């Protein structure tokens, strides 16, 4: 079966409910029940609000899964712990063609060490109306093409980082740094690598004035764009940092286009950042950046019961 973007009917529905009124009480049990090498769209729906204290892994061999809560403020996946391995996060998406909707994903470990809430490895992954919370390294946006729409992302240090090609559209980015923490740390390692982060029509806030930078280069060819984005006075006037490696000033690509607010003032920006022209900004402004029209899909409208057993695979 070949799935296409327009498939909105005959989606397999699996329900999760802590009270026992769904197919599963635990999220991971629902994911485990999906057959390996799945070729159908699977909609994992949370029947009612709840706080799910567990780690969730969507493995690479289980594509085409959507996880959807009822409301992003009341459907919460939470865990508390430091980052030691690539999968040691609250939620890890290793599969392609995954969608997350109306969820809070958080790691409550706090400051002192990396504590990832969400890691995304798969290609063609989208999140809508989600809240993602931690302190250091909140979102490991590591590889593939990704789309974040109307999401709230909070952290203090490098809290959106990795080497994906990702579009953040109408997202709310909130820093809890008090001393110049970076929002982004992108790891593009070659000028030929088509990766980068673009923030379009977003809002950026912080807990105090002059406490946040827009990004710093984890890799030598780090690429970050902010366009049509509101920036409060939490943004430091220089805007960007070279992470104590001046050679990366000439290879990183940091641009801003038509941003506004007190934090968007360009007069004191580092000289190696760019105030983009319309032609320079154009490739980073729409879903074309991630070929989104080929794979982003709407909320399904009709569902069917699964043909596979509602129990985890052994």
Return the pLDDT at 83. 83
Return the pLDDT at 189. 95
- The model's pTM is 0.95
Cα angle 177, 81, 66 (rounded to 5 degrees) comes to: 90
Q: What is the CATH number of domain 156-276?
A: 2.160.20.10
Return the pLDDT at 5. 46
Residue with tokens 């093409």: 145
Would you call 23 a catalytic residue per the annotation?
no
The per-residue pLDDT for range 15-50, each reduced to its tens digit, is 999 888 899 999 999 999 999 998 899 999 999 899
Return the pLDDT at 113. 86
Return the pLDDT at 292. 97
Return the pLDDT at 8. 60
Catalytic residue selected from 97, 123, 137, 163: 137
Residues (pLDDT < 50) of the chain are: 1-6, 314
Indicate the CATH number of 9-141+291-309 among 2.160.20.10, 3.10.580.10, 3.30.230.10, 3.30.70.20.
Answer: 2.160.20.10
Decide if 9-141+291-309 and 156-276 have a common fold: yes
Catalytic residue selected from 158, 192, 279, 293: 158
Return the pLDDT at 2. 35
| Rounded distance between C-alpha atoms, residue 6 and residue 253, angstroms | 35
Would you call 137 a catalytic residue per the annotation?
yes
Listed by start position, the domains of the chain span 9-141+291-309, 156-276
The per-residue pLDDT for range 141-159, each reduced to its tens digit, is 999 999 999 999 999 999 9
| Rounded distance between C-alpha atoms, residue 299 and residue 146, angstroms | 17
């Amino acid at each position: 079966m070949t799935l296409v973007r327009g498939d909105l009917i005959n989606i397999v529905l699996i329900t999760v409910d802590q009270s026992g009124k769904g197919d599963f009480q635990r999220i991971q049990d629902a994911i485990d029940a999906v057959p390996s090498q799945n070729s159908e769209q699977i909609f994992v729906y949370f029947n009612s609000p709840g706080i799910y204290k567990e780690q969730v892994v969507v493995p690479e061999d289980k594509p085409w899964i959507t996880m959807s809560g009822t409301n992003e403020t009341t459907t919460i996946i939470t865990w508390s712990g430091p980052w030691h391995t690539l999968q040691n996060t609250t939620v890890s998406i290793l599969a392609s063609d995954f969608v997350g909707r109306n969820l809070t994903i958080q790691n409550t470990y706090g400051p002192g060490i990396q504590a990832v809430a969400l890691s995304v490895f798969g290609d063609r992954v989208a999140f809508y109306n989600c809240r993602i919370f931690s302190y250091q390294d909140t979102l490991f946006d590591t590889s593939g093409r990704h789309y974040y729409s109307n999401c709230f992302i909070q952290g203090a240090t490098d809290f959106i980082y990795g080497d994906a090609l990702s579009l953040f559209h109408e997202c709310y980015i909130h820093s809890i740094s008090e001393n110049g923490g970076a929002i982004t740390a992108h790891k593009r390692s070659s000028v030929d690598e088509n990766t980068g982060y673009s923030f379009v029509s977003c809002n950026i806030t912080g807990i105090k004035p002059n406490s946040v930078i827009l990004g710093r280069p984890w890799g030598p060819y780090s690429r970050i764009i902010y366009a049509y984005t509101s920036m409060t006075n939490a943004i430091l006037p220089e805007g960007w940092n070279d992470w104590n490696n001046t050679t990366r000033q000439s290879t990183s690509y940091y641009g801003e286009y038509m941003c506004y607010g007190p934090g968007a003032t360009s007069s004191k920006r580092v000289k190696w950042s760019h105030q983009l022209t319309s032609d320079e900004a154009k490739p980073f402004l729409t879903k074309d950046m991630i070929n989104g029209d080929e794979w982003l899909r709407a909320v399904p409208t009709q569902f069917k019961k699964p043909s596979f057993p509602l129990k985890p695979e052994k």
